[in-house]
Structure formats: C-alpha cells, structure tokens
Amino acid sequence: MDNIAIDISEDELVAEITELRELLRTKEAKLTHLRREKQIAQEYGLNNDEICRYSRQLFLKEVGVKGQKKIKDSSVLIVGAGGLGCPAALYLTCAGIGCIGIVDYDDIEINNLHRQLLYTESSIGTAKVIAAAESLNRLNSYVKVIPYKIQLDSKNALDVIKNYDIVIDATDNVATRYLLNDACVLSGKPLVSGSALRFEGSLSVFNYNGPCYRCIFPEPPPPETVTSCGEGGIFGAVVGTIGVLQALETLKIILNMSDVTSGRLLLFDGTETKFHNVRLRPKNINCAVCGEHRIIHELIDYEKFCGAKANDKDPNLNLLKKEERISVEEYNKIIKTESKSRIMIDVRSSEEYRICHLQDSINIPFAQLSKDHNLKLIKDNIKKMQKEHHSVDLYLMCRRGNDSQKAVQYLKKIFIEDTLKIRDIIGGIHAWSNKIDQKFPKY
C-alpha cells in the first residue's frame, strides 16, 4: 500500500511540475511581450493597441513607427465644422493626431446633414463643435478633441492658434480667410486652405515654404461678387473631396513629405472628375503681412477690410430706398385685396423655382434677367396688363431678398421713363415662410 501511495504522489508531482513549467513559459512570453511593448512605448510613444490600430499606415515607408509618433505628437486646429471641416476631422482623427481643436459658432440644421458627416438627425439643434467632439471621441479615444464654440476674430484668434502646429481653414467667407492667413503668418503656422462651391473645389497650403494668401490676393473681392454655398449650392461629395485632401496635406506637412501643395492651387472639377494644378506667384516681397517691409504687425478689423461679415450666413443687403421695398405682410394684403394689376417676377434659379414658388409668379433667373428675350417677356406682360388696368406694379422676389434688390436696380435703369412702380419683397421666400405660410418650404 505504501508503494502504491508513493507512485501516485510521484505522478501527481510530475504533473504539477509540467503544469508549472507551462505556466512559467506563458509568464516568460508575457514578460517578453510586455518588455517589448514598454520598449516601443518608451522609444516611440505607442502602445500595442495603437500599433494595431494604425498598422496599415505603419507599413508605409513614409510613415512607419517614427512617423506615427510625429502624428501623435502633433496638434491641428480646424476652423469650421461644416462640409470641409467634418471630413478633415474624421480622417485626422482616424490617422491618430494627438490633439484636434475645432472652432465653430453655429448649431446643426437639417440642411447640414447631406454633407457634414459628423452629425445625425438627432444632432439637429446641437452646437456643431460639441456634436463633432462627441463623434470623434467615439471614433478614436486616443485623440484629444477640444471644441471652441466661438467665432474667431481679431481679439481671440492668436490666443487660440498659438496652441496648435497647423491650421485648417474650413470656412466659407472671405473675411475669415484673411484673418486666418494673417494670424498664421504672425504665429508662424502653416495654413491649409480649402473651398468648394457647386461642383467645384480648390485647395492650397499657405505660409509653408511659399506665399501666404495675401501674397496671391492682396485685396479682397467686392462683396457682391462672392457667392457662398448657402446661395450658390454645394454638392456634398465635392466638398467632402476637398476636406479629405485638406487632411492629406496636413499629414504630409507633419511627416515632412515633399510635394506639399504650397505655391500651387489644386482645382477640382466634380462634373468631369478632373484635377488641375495651377502654379501660383512666388512669395511677394512687398506683401503687407509677410513681406520684407510688412505693414501689418497685428490683426485688423477684417469685416471692415473685406466689407462683409466674417461668417457664412447669407448677407442681408440694403441697396434700395425704403419706398422701393415692401414686406411680405404688405404683399400678402395686396394679393388678397387688389385686382391682378401686378406682375411678380421670381429671380431665383429655375431649380429653386421648381422647389417652391408663389402662385401667378413668373420665373426669370437673375443671371438671365438682361437677356433680350426675358426683357421682351417683361415688357409684353406690362403692356398686356396696362391694357386691362390703369396702373401696373412690378414686384421682385428671391430667396432672401438680396438678388431681388439687384434686379430692381437693373430694371429701373431699363424702365427709366416708365411710371411703373418696381419694388422688391423684403426677405424673399424665407420671410414668406416665416411670417405668412409656415408650411411653405424654406431651404
């Protein structure tokens, strides 16, 4: 019995030793792995999860572990959380930028959703920067996202920009473009600038081994010649393309790659899916902000300089005298109380007119108002109406009451000797929807 007991104890002991050896091998392998991970973390600042996450770009010789560490240590400020800023932020977050700041003063509206990919229907009414930060944090918890619900201006721009390595201009107005350019020059930061309208987009990098924005455009364009996406329209995939390219150029700067789009303007035609590179003028030695004898040493009043607001909201022009304009309430009374001794011309585009329009209106797009056949159409309608009525009034309407004022100015020159009253409707379709018929589509 004693021998049997000894044999059993020996077998158990062998099994226990085998088990311990296997456990030891497992522990040694884990220790080796931890030491290697610690070595990588100490050497490059990346843990195992980050290496797995970014592995597909780590394979690239242009990136590698050292390049990924540069990306992780970098900071980028995105000004504008709209159609350009959203895709730029998405790709920079996925790439592993250490810190991303997002500046925007606006809240999410339903008309943002077709192109601003960080937001959902449940986001409507939320501050863009807050919703953007939440979306990006869910996407990559390693990236620090700082929201700024402010409008950048001459007083706060330098204080915000100084905390970041690179600035992305994802705005939609001229005043902010000049503000960001000057702030980046004074701060010594590269500016990755993009814009998009309708089916076209453009991209360039300023103040990075090449000219700044002022070198190319010393003076702003006349405000009336500038069209925002809110006025001219935008195709979502086009603005998305430019936003992604802004992220690409930003990463190329961080990685010290060659052929950054500095000193060049990249043009994208979405209708033909073509890219064109245009060589820009070199750095201007007489530039007001970056030249040898610069005269701008601090930020100025950019709204005054550009003659336009530093936001992407459609401007409210005041081109006419008070007696040349009527409110939607007044026009609604005219419709209800007077005979049809009036002509209503809707000067929106034919596409907009098909979305919605007032009954008995005639559609003549503002861009085509001066065409001979359209002027003849107006004159024929006036003559016809004058035969039936002693007097005829001509009313013009557009989306917000801007183009209609320009149309009044033009037609008054055409009918200079006529007793015809020509007036525009204040606020246009938007005012009609807000004050007269809330079910009337507002876009």
CA 342 to CA 362: how far, in whole Å?
11
Q: How many CB atoms lie within 10 A of CB 372?
A: 7
Q: Supply the DSSP string of 227-290, one letter for each residue.
A: --HHHH-B-HHHHHHHHHHHHHHHHHHHTT-S--SBSEEEEEETTTTEEEEEEPP---TT-TTT
Q: How far is CA 162 from the centre of its chain?
A: 22
Question: SS3 for 332-399, per residue?
Answer: HHHHHHCCCCEEEEECCCHHHHHHCCCCCEEECCHHHCCCHHHHHHHHHHHHHHHHHCCCCEEEEECC
Strands (E), 136-258: 144-148, 166-169, 191-197, 200-206
Q: Tell me the CA distances in angstroms from 176 to 162, 204, 310, 373, one per residue in order.
A: 17, 16, 5, 41
Here the tokens at position 146 are 């700082």
Active-site annotation holder among 215, 229, 287, 306: 229
Q: How far is CA 93 from the centre of its chain?
A: 17
Active-site annotation holder among 86, 287, 306, 398: 398
Residues 251 and 266: beta-carbon distance below 8 Å: no
Q: What is the DSSP letter of 202?
A: E
Here the tokens at position 248 are 């690409």
Pairing of β 200-206 and β 191-197: antiparallel
The residue with tokens 């195992």 is: 48
> 398 an active-site residue?
yes
Q: How many CB atoms lie within 10 A of CB 299?
A: 19
Residues contacting residue 305 through CB under 8 Å, at least 6 positions apart? 175, 178, 220
Q: How many CB atoms lie within 10 A of CB 335?
A: 14
CA 81 to CA 61: how far, in whole Å?
32
Task: For residue 263, give the amino acid letter.
Answer: G
> 229 an active-site residue?
yes
Q: How many CB atoms lie within 10 A of CB 317?
A: 15
Phi, psi of 305 (to 5 degrees): -60, -40
The residue with tokens 């959703």 is: 113
Write out the catalytic residue numbers: 229, 398
